[in-house]
Amino acid sequence: MKKAPAIRISGGRFKGQKIALPASEKTRPTKAIVRESLFDTLQNDLLEAGFVEVFAGSGSVGLEAISRGCETVCFMEQDPEAIATLKANLKALKLSDAHLFWGDSFTRIREVQTLLRQLRQSAWFYFDPPFDIREAFEDIYARTLAAIEALDAQEALGAVIEHRSRVELPAQIGLFSRAKTRRFGSTTLTYYLP
């Protein structure tokens, strides 16, 4: 019998814990080197902050954020198999206080913003949209930029986009300015700050 795919949390209180991945080809996990770079960059800004993983898949990035001290973590995902895997991961780590938003991320993000305002919590927003080469996702980066532009600087400490390296992102998205770019072969992280 084939083993279910899994990765490990790389730091914090859950370091070494396995995270299950969906067997589906619809989602792809963020590579370990990309996750480590992200959290090395943000580590001092995570304590008591919020974290929103948009297009969460199995939740590997948001779970790492919880492990490293984030206070409020929201996961956004619409794929049923990925949601089931994410719920299983939350249960395995005994995390009952994470916020799960099932459905279209571009629609549900308003609810996340409302929750953050109610909690008086500012958060990092992490966007890892499906590749734009997939059918029906040709405009995914334009929609992602529009979602960032609609963020309020009081609720968003910053936005990070994981994207294909060949995609050139703008220097400015609404109130947010490009602060840093890190390339990992075909994958790039671009950081925006208010």
> What does the pLDDT look like over 95-104, one tens digit per residue?
988 999 999 9
The number of folded domains in the chain is 1
Residue 12 within any structural domain of the chain: yes
Residue 141 within any structural domain of the chain: yes
Residue 67 within any structural domain of the chain: yes
Residue matched to tokens 């396995």: 18
Which domain range does residue 81 map to? 6-193
Q: Which residues of 35-56 are buried (b: 16+ CB within 10 A; e: fewer)?
A: beebbeebeeebeebbbbbbbb
Residue 1 within any structural domain of the chain: no
- What's residue 1's pLDDT? 43
Residue matched to tokens 């459905």: 103
Q: Please give the Cα distance from 92 to 42 (Å, whole number).
A: 25
| Domain containing residue 64: CATH number | 3.40.50.150
Three-class SS state of 25: coil
- What's residue 181's pLDDT? 97
- What's residue 28's pLDDT? 67
Please write the tens of the pLDDT for every residue from 17-64. 999 998 766 666 788 899 999 999 998 899 889 999 999 999 999 999
Which H or E run contains 147? helix 140-149
pTM: 0.93
- What's residue 94's pLDDT? 93
